[in-house]
């Protein structure tokens, strides 16, 4: 794109700038040719015109070949005394300009310093080599030597300034990229968190609604009263699901923090109401506790609740059994949650007959329930395993970290499992396609 505004950045502006520099250098060279060796002033001779013309013609190439331009202008400056002209900083102006350009463009500071020093020494040495040398020549020699050095120092300073500005811009660019990357990471984490919450909400409530609808359909003709009870429970379940879904979507639509306090996050304190909802859907759940229960950190509390909720939801959907067991074992530094069932195929339990517990939902590919449970446990430093038990059924076991307790001795009123420790051995990590082919979608 051509810059017609004379700003000096487009091709036309660069050409104008180079023309101005070259013209100014040519005029200064001719002004230096006015001064004669006998300290008189006269019109510039032909040699002065030749030196000025050739040395200034080299200036436009100093950006592409700075060392070659510096060498050529220095050589022309050394030829000034043999041609009968007085070597002054004026007639050596092209060499001074190319010294600045080379100091600005050299690959290393050592190369720039060496080339500028050689230029200064060559111009200064040309004065005593031709003609008589006097004290006036000595002072002129010093002045001629100083100007290329000053130009090189100025070029070095400008180069450092440009490098500093480039480094500042690079740091600003990297900081901006880091902020963008952090923002993208936080957005991705928030999306995963929201997906987990929606999955837990929808899978749990819809599974219960499906079970209640199945019960109502099964007893529609034989037990009308039971059908009405199941339908009332179905209405309550769907209404609760809509309320929770509306609250979750409302949080997504908020542009800032909520003005009113939000409902407390679910935890093990709400476990009885959770188990009651499953019992209304036809799943009998027994709870066994070992050790001394104590308050959980918020992150561990909601994770424990969601794991139990999702595991029981999977039992309702896929196990084909009406019983499940939940075990909480409190240790000094961790709590162990296990949810087990005796689904079809168990050598110790008969296959569940078809009836109101049978799900009407066709088989579906594996969902994200087990993945979500494992991600929740891992996020707080815990561990989760899930798979078939050797004696039949399915087992989900999670170990979640706890703050150290001062005393974990069970009290006299603490419940312990009457069935002994439940087996922790599992043979797989996912429900596969034998009646437990997928978790909640």
Residue 361 has pLDDT above 50, yes or no: no
Please check whether residue 129 lies inside any domain of the structure. Answer: yes
Provide CB contacts within 8 A for 241, sequence distance 6+: 201, 202, 205, 206, 209
Domain boundary among the residues 177, 197, 216 is at 177
Please check whether residue 153 lies inside any domain of the structure. Answer: yes
* DSSP-assigned beta bridge partners for residue 1: none
**Residue given tokens 């709870």 in the structure block:** 287
Tokens encoding 236: 């309550």
Domain limits for position 126: 11-177
Residue 302 shares a structural domain with residue 418: yes
Residue 157 shares a structural domain with residue 287: no
Please check whether residue 260 lies inside any domain of the structure. Answer: no
Residue 344 has pLDDT above 50, yes or no: yes
**Chain centroid offset of residue 320 CA:** 45
Provide DSSP, 143-175. HHHHHHHHHHHHHHHHHHHHHHHHHHHHHHHHH
What's the whole-number mean pLDDT along residues 78-83? 87
Q: What is the CATH number of the domain that holds 419?
A: 3.30.565.10
Domain boundary among the residues 177, 205, 234 is at 177
- Binning pLDDT at 50, 70 and 90, where does residue 254 land? low
Q: Parallel, antiparallel, or unpaired: how do β-strands 284-290 and 323-330 relate? A: parallel
Please check whether residue 196 lies inside any domain of the structure. Answer: no
Q: How many domains does the chain have?
A: 2
Please check whether residue 309 lies inside any domain of the structure. Answer: yes
Give pLDDT tens digits for 299-333: 888 888 888 988 888 888 777 777 899 999 998 88
SS3 label, residue 256: coil
Is the entire prediction scored with pTM above 0.95? no
Domain boundary among the residues 125, 154, 177 is at 177
Q: Parallel, antiparallel, or unpaired: how do β-strands 323-330 and 334-341 relate? A: antiparallel
**Residue given tokens 């000025």 in the structure block:** 52
Tokens encoding 440: 């909640």
> What per-residue confidence (pLDDT) applies to 198?
67
Q: What is the C-alpha separation between 377 and 304, in angstroms, rounded?
A: 8
Q: What is the C-alpha separation between 112 and 104, in angstroms, rounded?
A: 8
Identify the CA nearest to 328 among candidates 260, 388, 275, 281. 275
Residue 27 shares a structural domain with residue 156: yes
Please check whether residue 33 lies inside any domain of the structure. Answer: yes
Q: How many angstroms separate the first and last alpha carbons of the chain?
A: 56
């Amino acid at each position: 794109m051509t810059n017609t505004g004379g700003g000096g950045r487009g091709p036309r502006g660069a050409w104008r700038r180079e023309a101005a520099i070259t013209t100014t250098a040519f005029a200064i060279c001719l002004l230096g040719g006015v001064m004669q060796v006998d300290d008189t002033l006269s019109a510039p001779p032909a040699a002065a015109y030749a030196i000025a013309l050739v040395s200034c013609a080299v200036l436009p190439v100093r950006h592409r070949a700075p060392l070659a331009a510096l060498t050529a202008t220095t050589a022309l400056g050394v030829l000034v005394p043999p041609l009968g002209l007085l070597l002054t900083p004026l007639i050596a102006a092209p060499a001074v300009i190319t010294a600045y350009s080379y100091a600005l463009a050299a690959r290393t500071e050592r190369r720039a310093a060496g080339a500028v020093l050689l230029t200064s020494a060559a111009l200064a040495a040309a004065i005593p080599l031709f003609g008589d040398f006097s004290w006036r020549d000595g002072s002129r020699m010093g002045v001629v030597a100083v100007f290329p050095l000053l130009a090189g120092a100025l070029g070095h300073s400008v180069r450092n300034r440009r490098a500093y500005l480039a480094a500042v811009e690079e740091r600003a660019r990297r900081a901006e990229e880091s902020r963008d990357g952090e923002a993208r990471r936080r957005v991705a984490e928030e999306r995963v968190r929201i997906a987990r919450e929606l999955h837990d909400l929808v899978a749990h409530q819809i599974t219960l609604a499906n079970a209640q609808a199945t019960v109502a359909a099964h007893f529609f003709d034989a037990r009308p009263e039971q059908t009405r009870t199941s339908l009332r429970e179905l209405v309550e379940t769907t209404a609760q699901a809509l309320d929770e879904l509306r609250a979750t979507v409302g949080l997504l639509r908020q542009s800032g923090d909520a003005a009113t306090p939000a409902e407390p996050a679910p935890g093990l304190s709400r476990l009885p109401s959770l188990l009651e909802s499953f019992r209304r859907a036809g799943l009998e759940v027994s709870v066994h506790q070992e050790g001394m229960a104590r308050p959980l950190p918020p992150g561990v509390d909601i994770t424990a609740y969601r794991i139990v909720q999702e595991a029981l939801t999977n039992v309702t959907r896929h196990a084909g059994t009406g019983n499940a067991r939940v075990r909480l074992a409190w240790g000094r530094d961790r709590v162990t949650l296990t949810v087990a069932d005796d689904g079809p195929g168990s050598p110790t339990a008969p296959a569940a007959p078809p009836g109101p517990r049978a799900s009407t939902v066709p088989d579906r590919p594996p969902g994200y329930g087990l993945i979500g449970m494992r991600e929740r446990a891992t996020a707080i430093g815990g561990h989760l395993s899930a798979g078939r038990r050797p004696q039949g059924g399915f087992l989900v076991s999670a170990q979640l970290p706890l703050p150290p307790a001062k005393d974990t001795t069970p009290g006299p009123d603490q419940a312990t499992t009457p069935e002994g420790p439940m087996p922790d051995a599992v043979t797989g990590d996912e429900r596969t396609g034998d009646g437990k082919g997928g978790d909640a979608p």
